[in-house]
């Protein structure tokens, strides 16, 4: 027997819908950031190359995890930067460290993405162009 009243279920769905709208607004805000747009362009190139080179299912899983992981980290980095900017308008060494650490996480993940991309794409390109 369902003990939850219809009003509570309706409120739950309204709250869920509102939270999705807030999340979509966050993604739209991220798209205004130059670094996010750069990563979007790189993602489009990687996806188009993956389609052209007929990646395996496992290769697609890796590429998609890397692409969406980069988007997620870039959004978190932007959130940290904006939060730090909100808290202090003047220079503070800890504020700089927080921003630098977040940017460093994005940079490390970008290096990982490039390395894995090279491991996946170079052999396929060599096979295609050099007929190895």
φ, ψ at 2 (rounded to 5°): -85, 115
The answer to whether 74 is a known catalytic residue is yes
Six-digit token pair at 64? 């998609």
- CA–CA gap between residue 22 and residue 28 (Å, rounded): 10
- CA–CA gap between residue 41 and residue 37 (Å, rounded): 6
Among 101, 72, 98, 71, smallest CA distance to 87 is for 98
Half-sphere exposure of 31 (CA within 13 A, CB side): 6
Q: Strands, E, within the chain: which ranges?
A: none
- The single residue of 33, 74, 81, 127 carrying the catalytic annotation is 74
Residues that are catalytic: 74
């Amino acid at each position: 027997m369902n003990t939850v009243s219809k009003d509570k279920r309706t409120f739950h769905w309204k709250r869920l819908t509102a939270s999705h709208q807030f999340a979509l607004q966050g993604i739209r805000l991220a798209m205004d950031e130059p670094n996010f747009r750069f990563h979007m362009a790189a993602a489009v190139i990687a996806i188009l190359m993956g389609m052209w080179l007929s990646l395996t299912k496992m290769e697609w899983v890796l590429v998609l995890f890397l692409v969406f992981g980069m988007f997620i980290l870039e959004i978190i980095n932007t959130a940290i930067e904006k939060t730090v900017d909100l808290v202090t308008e003047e220079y503070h060494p800890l504020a700089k460290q927080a921003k630098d650490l977040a940017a460093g996480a994005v940079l490390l993940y970008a290096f990982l993405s490039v390395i894995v991309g090279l491991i996946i794409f170079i052999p396929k390109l060599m096979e295609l162009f050099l007929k190895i």
